[in-house]
């Protein structure tokens, strides 16, 4: 019972700490109704990431908006503008002309563990109710890829904390009140499953959007899949730990280095590669133009090649 009370106190303290960094984002978009443009209002959440007025949110919250308003927990309304969007990660940055804002503390999401308690915070009713809405759950899985039809979002945190559509763009936090992810999607046909973008991805994308207005994303140019016995049998290749190359972008870095479909990538520089997550982490740690030594198994033979990484177009 004492442990239960201690966790309740931790949840309350975490919510109090982060709430001042959570905002409501109201947008107006134009939609066509019988060939006539009609204004459509949307609503979502955001989290303050810099005291000089920078707010991170989901790209789908602000995409196509003609007008944008940010509502703070104290009821203040400020006009906002989008300074950068990245549809590939479903992240965007909104700027308001106000300094001294309470920026959230961003955690190292690579240290997040399955089973860890997390809190989803949003402010979908910011116009009507003071303060955020809060749900609690656990981390159900990490490194999840989410298929949204025309788009595949990679490396997500899966949680059973309830995430409502208006909470998109709000933070997922740990019991210390540190942001570990950004709530972004709910699978409509899978009850009780929510997803969040890892905070390390949010940090990098937001920094690029603020500085450059776009993301400088390093690109290897393959479609990969984590190898296991089932995949090896499906493609009739010898079982080997690593990332199987299912496709290679024509003229991309991997193509120029001689990597081919059916190859299995087992090592990048001096680091073993046992999953797509491992490969992604190593590639994104490099900058466009840098070289990456790649060890590949092809038809049972092992060889190395040097890839010159480029910027994703």
Active-site annotation holder among 65, 86, 168, 263? 168
Q: Quote the DSSP letter at residue 311.
A: E
SS3 3: helix
3-class secondary structure, 87: coil
Q: Is the dihedral of CA 76, 71, 73, 124 positive or negative?
A: positive
Contact (Cβ atoms closer than 8 angstroms) between residue 56 and residue 62: no
Of residues 19, 21, 60, 178, which has the active-site annotation? Answer: 60
Q: Please tell me whether residue 89 adopts helix, strand or coil conformation.
A: coil
Task: Name the strand (E) or helix (H) holding 22.
Answer: strand 22-33
Burial grade of 96 (CB within 10 A; 0-12, 13-18, 19 or more): buried
CA dihedral (55, 58, 64, 67) positive or negative: negative
User: Is residue 168 among the annotated active site residues?
Assistant: yes
Is-contact 112 198, C-beta < 8 A? yes
Clarify whether 275 is annotated catalytic.
no
Q: Which of 26, 86, 90, 263 is catalytic?
A: 90
Q: In this structure, are strands 271-272 and 264-268 parallel, antiparallel, or unpaired?
A: antiparallel
- Integer CA distances (angstroms), 63 to 30, 57, 110, 267, in order: 11, 11, 28, 38
Active site residue 60: yes
Closest among 177, 206, 197, 164 to 19, alpha carbons compared: 177
Long-range contacts at 5-12 (CB < 8 A, ≥ 24 apart): 7/117, 7/175, 10/175, 10/176, 11/117, 11/119, 11/134, 11/136, 11/175
Q: Which residues are catalytic?
A: 60, 90, 168
């Amino acid at each position: 019972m004492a442990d239960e009370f201690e966790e309740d106190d931790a949840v309350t303290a975490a919510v109090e700490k982060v709430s001042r960094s959570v905002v409501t984002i109201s947008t107006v978009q134009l939609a066509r109704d019988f060939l006539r443009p009609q204004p459509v209002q949307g609503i979502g959440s955001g989290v303050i990431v810099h005291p000089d007025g920078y707010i991170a949110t989901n790209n789908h919250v602000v995409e196509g908006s003609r007008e944008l308003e940010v509502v703070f927990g104290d009821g203040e309304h400020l006009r906002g503008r989008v300074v950068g969007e990245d549809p590939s990660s479903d992240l965007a940055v909104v700027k308001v002309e106000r300094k001294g804002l309470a920026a959230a503390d961003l955690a190292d999401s690579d240290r997040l563990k399955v089973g860890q308690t997390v809190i989803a915070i949003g402010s979908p009713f910011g116009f009507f109710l003071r303060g955020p809405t809060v749900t609690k759950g656990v981390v159900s899985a990490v490194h999840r890829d989410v298929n949204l039809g025309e788009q595949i979002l990679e490396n997500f945190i899966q949680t059973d904390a309830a995430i409502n559509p208006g909470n998109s763009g709000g933070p997922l936090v740990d019991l210390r009140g540190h942001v570990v992810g950004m709530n972004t999607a709910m699978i409509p046909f899978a009850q009780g499953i929510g997803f969040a973008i890892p905070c390390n991805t949010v940090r990098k994308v937001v920094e690029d959007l603020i500085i450059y207005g776009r993301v400088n994303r390093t690109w290897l140019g393959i479609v990969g899949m984590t190898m296991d016995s089932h995949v090896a049998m499906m493609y009739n290749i010898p079982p080997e730990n690593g990332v199987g190359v299912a496709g290679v972008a024509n003229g991309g870095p991997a193509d120029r280095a001689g990597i081919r479909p059916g190859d299995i990538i087992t090592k990048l520089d001096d680091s073993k590669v046992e999953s797509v997550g491992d490969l992604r982490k190593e590639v994104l740690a490099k900058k466009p133009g840098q070289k990456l030594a790649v060890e590949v198994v092809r038809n049972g033979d092992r060889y190395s090649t040097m890839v010159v990484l480029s910027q994703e177009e």
